[in-house]
C-alpha cells in the first residue's frame, strides 16, 4: 500500500484555500490547515476529520511571514504525520488604495503576507523535507503581470511571487518542483465583492471579459492543483485558470 502523502496549505481556513484543503482530504491526503485566526479553521478541521478520519487532518496557527511560527508549524506537521510532501502557498491579503494613499504599513503587510510568506514557507518546507520528492505550488495573480489600479502593493507582491517561483524551481530541481497557479474570476468572496458580481451589471461586465463565457468554479482550480502535483516533469511553470481572460 502506498504511503499517505501530506499537504500543508497556507491560508486554508476559508475561501480558495479551504476548497483546496477539502479536495486533498477527499483524495486521502494528510492535510494541514494553516490559519492566522481561530474559528473557521477549527470548523473546517471538524468537518474534514468527521468525513476522512481524525488523524488525517490538523490545523496550525502561524503567521506565514514569521520565521519562528512557520518553523514550529512544520515541526508540528512532522511530529504528527512523519513527513511533508506538498506545500500550497495560498495565504495572502488585499489592502487596496490609490498609489499615493498606500502607507508603509499596508505596503509591508501585503508584501509580508504574499512574497515573504512564500519565501519563508518555501524554505522551511525544503528544510523539513530533506530526502524525498516534493512539490510547491505558489499562488500568483494576473495582476502580477499586467497590474491594476489601486493595488500597487498587491500587484508588486504577486509579480515577485511569479519570479520567486522561477528562482526556486531552478535551485530546488530536480528533487523539489515549484510551480505557480494563477486563478482568475473564480467565485471567491473577494472576487465577488471586488467586481460587484452579485449585481446584474457587475456580472455582465465581468462575463464580457471571459472567452469561456462563465465565472470560474472552485473545482476548476482544484483540478489544476492536482494536475500540477502529479506533473512530475514540470517545474517553473505558470498555470492559468481564468477562462481565457488573460492569455500569456
**Over 60: is that where the pLDDT of 1 sits?**
no
> What is the domain range of residue 57?
6-184+220-240
DSSP letter for 29, please: -
The predicted structure's pLDDT at residue 19: 96
Would the pLDDT of 46 be above 70?
Answer: yes
Examine residue 103 and state whether it is found in any structural domain, yes or no: yes
Q: Is residue 68 part of a domain?
A: yes
Instruction: Single out the residue of 9, 221, 40 nearest to residue 117, CA to CA.
Output: 9
Strands (E) across 128-230 are located at: 134-139, 176-183
What is the mean pLDDT of the segment spanning 54-81? 97
pLDDT at 222: 98
pTM for the full predicted model: 0.96
Q: What is the pLDDT, as a whole number, of residue 62? A: 98
In a domain, 248, yes or no: no
Q: Could you tell me the three cell numbers for 63? A: 503567521
Rounded distance between C-alpha atoms, residue 197 and residue 216, angstroms: 12
For residue 214, name the pLDDT band (cuts at 50, 70, 90).
very high
Is 61 part of a structural domain of the chain? yes
- The strand pairing partners of 216, in sequence order, are 186
3-state SS track over 80-146? HHCCCCEEEECCCCCCCCCHHHCCHHHHHHHHHHHHHHHHHHHHHHHHCCCCCCEEEEEECCCHHHH
d(CA 84, CA 64): 17
Q: Dihedral sign for Cα 223, 224, 225, 230, please.
A: positive
202 occurs within a structural domain: no
Would the pLDDT of 81 be above 60?
Answer: yes
The residues pairing with 138 across neighbouring beta strands, listed in sequence order, are 89, 180
Tally of CB atoms within 10 A around 233? 6
pLDDT digits (tens, 9 = 90+) for 178-208: 999 999 989 888 888 888 999 999 999 999 9
The answer to the question of residue 203 being in a domain is no
Lowest-pLDDT range, 78-82, 114-118, 182-186?
182-186
Residues 6+ apart with CB under 8 A from 92: 11, 110, 113, 114, 117, 139, 157
CATH number for the domain spanning 130: value is 3.40.50.720
pLDDT for position 208? 95
Whether the predicted pLDDT of 38 surpasses 90: no
Mean pLDDT (the chain, rounded)? 95
Q: For residue range 128-180, what is the model confidence (pLDDT) as tens digits? A: 999 999 999 999 999 999 999 999 999 999 999 999 999 999 999 999 999 99
Give CA angle at 87 (84, 19), nearest 5°. Answer: 115
CB 140 within 8 A of CB 180: yes
What is the per-residue pLDDT for 152?
Answer: 98
Q: Which pLDDT belongs to residue 37?
A: 82
In a domain, 208, yes or no: no
Comparing 193 with 68, the larger pLDDT belongs to 68
Does the residue 29 lie in any domain? yes
Chain-centre distance of CA 233, in angstroms?
Answer: 21
* Cis bond upstream, residue 174 (ω within 30): yes
Instruction: Report how many domains make up the chain.
Output: 1
How many angstroms separate the CA atoms of 95 and 159, rounded? 16
Amino acid at each position: 500500500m502506498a504511503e499517505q502523502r501530506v499537504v500543508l496549505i497556507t491560508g486554508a481556513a476559508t475561501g480558495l484555500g479551504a476548497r483546496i484543503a477539502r479536495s486533498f482530504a477527499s483524495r486521502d491526503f494528510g492535510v494541514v490547515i494553516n490559519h492566522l485566526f481561530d474559528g473557521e479553521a477549527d470548523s473546517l478541521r471538524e468537518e474534514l476529520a468527521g468525513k476522512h478520519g481524525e488523524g488525517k487532518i490538523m490545523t496550525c496557527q502561524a503567521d506565514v511571514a514569521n520565521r519562528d511560527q512557520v518553523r514550529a508549524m512544520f515541526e508540528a506537521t512532522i511530529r504528527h504525520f512523519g513527513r511533508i510532501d506538498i506545500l500550497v502557498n495560498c495565504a495572502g491579503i488585499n489592502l487596496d488604495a490609490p498609489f499615493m494613499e498606500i502607507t508603509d504599513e499596508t505596503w509591508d503587510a501585503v508584501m509580508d503576507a504574499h512574497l515573504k510568506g512564500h519565501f519563508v514557507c518555501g524554505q522551511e518546507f525544503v528544510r523539513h523535507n530533506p530526502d524525498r520528492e516534493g512539490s510547491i505550488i505558489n499562488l500568483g495573480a494576473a495582476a502580477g503581470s499586467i497590474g491594476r489600479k489601486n493595488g500597487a502593493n498587491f500587484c508588486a507582491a504577486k509579480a515577485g511571487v511569479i519570479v520567486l517561483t522561477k528562482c526556486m524551481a531552478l535551485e530546488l530541481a530536480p528533487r523539489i518542483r515549484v510551480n505557480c497557479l494563477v486563478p482568475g474570476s473564480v467565485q471567491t468572496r473577494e472576487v465577488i465583492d471586488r467586481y460587484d458580481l452579485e449585481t446584474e451589471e457587475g456580472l455582465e461586465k465581468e462575463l464580457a471579459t471571459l472567452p469561456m463565457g462563465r465565472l470560474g468554479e472552485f473545482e476548476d482550480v482544484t483540478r489544476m492543483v492536482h494536475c500540477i502535483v502529479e506533473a512530475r516533469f514540470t517545474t517553473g511553470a505558470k498555470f492559468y485558470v481564468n477562462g481565457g481572460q488573460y492569455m500569456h
